[in-house]
Structure 1
Amino acid sequence: MTRLILTLLAAAATPLMAVDKVDVFPAGMGGVALYRIPGVVVTEKGTVLAYCEARKNSSADWGEIEIHLRRSSDGGRTWEAPQHIAHHAARLEGNPRKKDETGAHEQTVNNPVAIV
């Protein structure tokens, strides 16, 4: 018990590491209205991959949504520019009954999941 108490006291006396906050997907970056539903994975080589929905024209659930990715090779200190990573072919047909705010049918690719 004494050993446990000494370990806890030593841990409490150790200064905590400073954590820098980095907004990897700030709203407005690259002309995107809002980024949502993020995910982060780290590869075996240590590359950090952050991805999320890019809601192009508004924050609404209906509308143009793409999947974007940013890559960091230095543990998250710096990041490459966002890349559009999902669906580069012809437009996907949206819900024929639902139109976005402009009256156009949306193209939506959403809720990304990474498998590494």
Structure 2
Amino acid sequence: MRKFNFFYLPIIFLFVLVLTNCNKNSLTDISRTEVLSENWKLQRNSKLADKTGDVISQSNFKTDNWLNAVVPGTVMGSLVANGEVKDPYFGINLKNIDKEQFVQTWWY
């Protein structure tokens, strides 16, 4: 029986090393992080009339007259940022806010 030739061992090791590193770029593309904190819009349900979620969720749905939303945040925070509601932490502005607008559904 022939003895194993150790001359080929480094070559085999390099070959395996190259093959295992060939696929690393595609793995990093799959596991990238996508930050979803910009370009959000907000609208109250009463202004959307008969639109349903399956219509609103379409990529070609127009949101031109929607408010810019602060994400992460709340509906109140977005309304304050858009000037729809005065700063609730100033004076008695919190008492003067119409609470009925928060009884309905809001769409992002």
Is the pair's TM-score, using the shorter chain for normalization, greater than 0.5? Answer: no
- Structure number with higher relative contact order (C-alpha < 8 Å, ≥ 6 residues apart): 2
TM tier, smaller: under 0.3
Structure having the larger proportion of residues in helix: 2
TM normalised by structure 2 equals 0.25
Return the index of the structure with the highest Cα Rg. Answer: 2
TM normalised by structure 1 equals 0.24
